[in-house]
Structure 1
Amino acid sequence: MSVQPAEAATEVAFPPGFVWGAATAAFQIEGSTTVDGRSPSVWDTFCRQPGAVVNGDTGEPAADHYRRYGEDVELMRDLGLGAYRFSTAWPRIRPDAGEPDSRGLDFYDRLVDRLLAAGIAPWATLYHWDLPQTLEDDGGWANRDTAYRFAEYAETIVSRLGDRVVSWTTLNEPWCAAILGYAQGIHAPGRTDPKAAVAAVHHLLLGHGLAMDVIRRHAPGSKAGLTLNLFPVVPADPGSAADLEAVRRIDGLQNRLFLDPVLRGAYPEDLVEDLAPFGLADHVRAGDLGVISAPLDLLGVNYYRGYQVTGTPREGTEPGGPAWIGAETVAFVTDDGLPRTESGWQVQPDGLTDILLRVHREYPAIPLYITENGAAYPDHEHGDGQVDDHDRVAFLDSHLRAAHAAILGGVDLRGYFYWSLLDNFEWAEGYAKRFGIVHVDYETQRRTPKQSARWYSQVINHNGLG
């Protein structure tokens, strides 16, 4: 089912100074996975596991950004981007989590300088899932020591770029790294160990807090925070006790398990009880939550869809939820008639308004940025160099209007980054799904701005929607 643009759409103006950008991640676009001393990451290893990634795809060559970054920055300039959110690659900067490698550091030096010369603000993310494989061999994020090794890596890159990068995020979507990677096994490192996943949650958050201290020391005056993927979770039947319990469980592990320790300084009591058999309390040491809840300058919100859940699985639902909290009692509604992206994700722009309002109302005041929002659709290429993606334009239009509705509701929302600038390696989906506003021909590496890129450029130019 296609997404349709809003009928009789009204003009929408965003606040002065609103940040307009696009986002990428190192492993998804850089390629050059064995170049200039870069060591293997958990994703390099995961890609070699049979059946782990669609078509057996790997992070090579991805979008060849390591060699083509200059061309890509010119694309950003042409589109009028005010900011570019990228991640730095731990295995490139400190190969095998060892000593710094000047070649990797030099690459990010060149990238940042090129962005600044183009008038584009660099937004750096320290961790977008590419853990050095050597650390995974020692237990990965289930090992507390990894948090301290992360702080070492953070110090290396922040001390190098902190004089020019003034916006930092420590982690991207720690939920994915911990739950998908260590419990469900569908992301790297591909483990299915609930106890390891619970340990990974805490150690990722500890690493975030330690990295915040690094940023404060080496990039004074910069803005710093982290990015969480948040989902509104609603019951299929608001009058059903079973459905409300399903909401509690899913919302707890998806949202509150990360929001609460970071913004309130404590894990939710109900989740501490739920996760007691899996050792959450065993990993929390004196002082940890103080480190984790260090004051933030910003919170990045990644939004793609919401969840409608039930505690009484039936036709039109599919099982879901982390296994250790009773997946047999939780299911996701699948037959609600909403349009879907090529990924099968329901298109729910109102959910973006809802989740932004929730953070605004339930947590301490903090500036918010939408650091990812986007959709995969089958793009239609024409021989004249045009790439039509009407569905993506409609998706963008509806979600930007939803973001504006949150601002009208009092949310301190200060920016929007589309995911993604370029078609790229989309994790377990490999190259089968295209999220970019710029089409990448993976055979030739030719870049072609899509219809959505031209549309977004107009939004940026007008700071609003017509």
Structure 2
Amino acid sequence: MTINFQFPEDFWWGSATSATQIEGAAKEDGKAKNIWDHWYEKEPNRFFDEIGPDTTSNFYHTYKEDIKLMKEIGHNTFRLSISWSRFMPYGEVNQKAADFYNHVIDELIAQDIEPFVNLFHFDMPFDLQQQGGWESREVVEKYVDYAKTCFQLFGDRVTKWFTFNEPIVPVEGGYLYDFHYPNIVDAKKATQVAYHTMIAHAKAVEAFRTYNDNGSKIGIILNLTPSYPRSNNPADLRASRIADLFFNRSFLDPAVLGEYPSELIEILNEHGLLPNTEVGDKELLRENKVDILGVNYYQPRRVKAKEYLPNPYAPFMPDMYFDSYEMPGRKMNKYRGWEIYEKGIYDILKNLKDNYGNIESFISENGMGVQNEERFLRNREIQDDYRIEFIKEHLKWVHQAIQENCNVKGYHLWAFMDNWSWMNAYKNRYGFFAVDLKTMKRTPKKSAHWIKHVAENNGF
């Protein structure tokens, strides 16, 4: 087998997931409700096929077998998240949950797979949401206690920690565009939630530094979506710059550079949307920058200058500054409605090299969701050549970035196996392994065999 794209030694091959999306056992062993459990009870119609978080891939009971399968397809790393509402329901450690996460971490290590542990993946405990969620500074302190407890209990074995996954998504979904609970449309609250999330992040990083004595690293995972302008017209360029400020730099700059972009502050100030801050916050952010950055990349954002003036009576939205641009001839994943633009992954990594100190990074999510994959079943195996092609073309650009000295250390697919995906439930399948929802049986797809060869040869 000729290797045309050779990756550095110790490159991280693996996949990513989150607690709410795979664990199941939503009401077992003392787990308290999170916002997803509550929202599903309240409005099951908002979820595809009315499938809720109690019907996920049952990892809580099958983690041993699943980790064995990860090993079989060449994983040397795996990102999981801890469920705050399972691990510390109502502020106290739940021993059964602590045992579960200890077992998972130990099993991964026993199989020579390094655990990457993320603390928060969209799953605010419902009782804390009732106390204001990320709008509340008290909830920020409760998150810091939770983070400290995780560092104490698991930090002897876990050396890669992440405070948040895609922290902008609860802001967009929960406080602007109504696709996550609490379904509020209020830009002032949105900026407060975004700001408190970054304060929670920085306080967790600060706490981590006092526990870390084994060379561990802490970071954050951001869904970076390059904003491409329709043209070089100054109006289009401004539209893309402002889209980038809102959707990328609002978290990237404070996490990596320790401060917010001045232009973003000016725009928010102009609209009376600046969050409430406390003395010492600025120093806190400046002194607690990340060691490592996870990059989730699925699609680009293409924008153009506004066609029409925004409605003066509508609530503030970032889109007041730009319109989406549907570029003719773009390549689409028609099932998800997303553009496939592989070079975007390279553009992100180059930006991190040129403007963010070439921070150590890895591709923490990338993947292709496809509906009704059983159409591609041949000889009892899903022939997901489209997924192999998708991964391969993105990896070529990651390889190119490495050739140009970008500090990128690994690639994690979303996801190891088909999992429940928030409001989309099981509409689109993403995994290397198919999951039969009736029997919970895992079956490798063609891509599972392909990635095994890639991992074993450290290239393709």
* Shorter-chain TM-score above 0.5: yes
* Farther-moved stretch of structure 1 (67-76 vs 275-284): 275-284
390, 404, 409: which one aligns with 1:409: 404
Q: What's the counterpart of residue 387 of structure 2?
A: 392
Q: Tell me: CA distance 1:43–1:279, structure 2 relative to 1, closer, same or farther (3 Å).
A: farther
Q: What's the counterpart of residue 80 of structure 2?
A: 86
* Farther-moved stretch of structure 1 (172-181 vs 348-357): 172-181
- 8 Å CA contact 1:311–1:331 kept in 2: the answer is yes
Deviation at 1:382, TM superposition (A): 3.2
Deviation at 1:417, TM superposition (A): 0.8
106, 125, 128: which one aligns with 1:132: 125
Deviation at 1:292, TM superposition (A): 2.7
Q: Tell me: CA distance 1:37–1:354, structure 2 relative to 1, closer, same or farther (3 Å).
A: same
304, 326, 333: which one aligns with 1:334: 326
Deviation at 1:393, TM superposition (A): 0.6
- 8 Å CA contact 1:227–1:299 kept in 2: the answer is yes
- 8 Å CA contact 1:30–1:61 kept in 2: the answer is no
Q: Equivalents in 2 of 1:323, 1:360: separation in Å?
A: 37
* Farther-moved stretch of structure 1 (47-56 vs 295-304): 47-56
SS in structure 1 of the partner of residue 352 of structure 2: helix
Q: Which amino acid aligns with 1:242?
A: A
- 8 Å CA contact 1:23–1:417 kept in 2: the answer is yes
Q: Equivalents in 2 of 1:27, 1:198: separation in Å?
A: 25
Deviation at 1:248, TM superposition (A): 2.0
Deviation at 1:279, TM superposition (A): 5.6
Q: Tell me: CA distance 1:238–1:323, structure 2 relative to 1, closer, same or farther (3 Å).
A: farther
145, 149, 162: which one aligns with 1:156: 149
SS in structure 1 of the partner of residue 338 of structure 2: coil
Q: Which amino acid aligns with 1:189?
A: P
Q: 1:44-443 residue pairs with structure 2 within 5 A? A: 44-47=37-40, 48-96=42-90, 98-220=91-213, 221-239=215-233, 241-276=234-269, 281-293=274-286, 294-313=288-307, 324-325=316-317, 327-341=319-333, 342-378=335-371, 379-380=373-374, 382=377, 384-443=379-438
Deviation at 1:282, TM superposition (A): 4.1
Deviation at 1:325, TM superposition (A): 4.6
Q: Which amino acid aligns with 1:203?
A: H
Deviation at 1:136, TM superposition (A): 0.7
Q: What's the counterpart of residue 29 of structure 1?
A: 22
Q: Equivalents in 2 of 1:382, 1:216: separation in Å?
A: 49
Q: Equivalents in 1 of 2:366, 2:66: separation in Å?
A: 20
Q: Equivalents in 2 of 1:434, 1:334: separation in Å?
A: 25
- 8 Å CA contact 1:31–1:65 kept in 2: the answer is yes
SS in structure 2 of the partner of residue 127 of structure 1: coil
* Farther-moved stretch of structure 1 (176-185 vs 120-129): 176-185
Q: Deviations over 1:361-390 (max 9, x none)?
A: 011231011111111124235373311111
- 8 Å CA contact 2:176–2:317 kept in 1: the answer is no
- 8 Å CA contact 1:313–1:331 kept in 2: the answer is yes
Q: Equivalents in 2 of 1:460, 1:188: separation in Å?
A: 38
Q: Which amino acid aligns with 1:399?
A: H
- 8 Å CA contact 1:440–1:448 kept in 2: the answer is yes
SS in structure 2 of the partner of residue 275 of structure 1: helix
Q: Equivalents in 1 of 2:207, 2:97: separation in Å?
A: 20
Q: What's the counterpart of residue 5 of structure 1?
A: none
SS in structure 2 of the partner of residue 272 of structure 1: helix
What runs of 5+ residues in structure 1 fail to find an aligned partner?
1-8
SS in structure 2 of the partner of residue 439 of structure 1: strand
Deviation at 1:323, TM superposition (A): 5.8
Q: Which amino acid aligns with 2:169?
A: C
Q: Which amino acid aligns with 2:259?
A: A
* Farther-moved stretch of structure 1 (62-71 vs 187-196): 187-196
SS in structure 2 of the partner of residue 84 of structure 1: strand
SS in structure 2 of the partner of residue 309 of structure 1: strand
Q: Tell me: CA distance 1:81–1:262, structure 2 relative to 1, closer, same or farther (3 Å).
A: same
Q: Equivalents in 1 of 2:33, 2:281: separation in Å?
A: 30
SS in structure 1 of the partner of residue 259 of structure 2: coil
- 8 Å CA contact 2:84–2:124 kept in 1: the answer is yes
Q: Equivalents in 2 of 1:326, 1:164: separation in Å?
A: 41
- Percent of pairs identical after alignment? 34
Q: Tell me: CA distance 1:280–1:266, structure 2 relative to 1, closer, same or farther (3 Å).
A: farther
- 8 Å CA contact 1:194–1:278 kept in 2: the answer is no
- 8 Å CA contact 1:377–1:391 kept in 2: the answer is no
- 8 Å CA contact 2:246–2:318 kept in 1: the answer is no
Q: Equivalents in 1 of 2:275, 2:377: separation in Å?
A: 58
Q: Tell me: CA distance 1:329–1:154, structure 2 relative to 1, closer, same or farther (3 Å).
A: closer
* Farther-moved stretch of structure 1 (133-142 vs 214-223): 214-223
What runs of 5+ residues in structure 2 fail to find an aligned partner?
none
Q: Tell me: CA distance 1:253–1:438, structure 2 relative to 1, closer, same or farther (3 Å).
A: same
Q: Equivalents in 1 of 2:44, 2:101: separation in Å?
A: 33
SS in structure 1 of the partner of residue 218 of structure 2: strand
Shift >6 Å, 4+ stretches: none
Q: Tell me: CA distance 1:454–1:323, structure 2 relative to 1, closer, same or farther (3 Å).
A: farther
Q: Equivalents in 2 of 1:120, 1:351: separation in Å?
A: 29
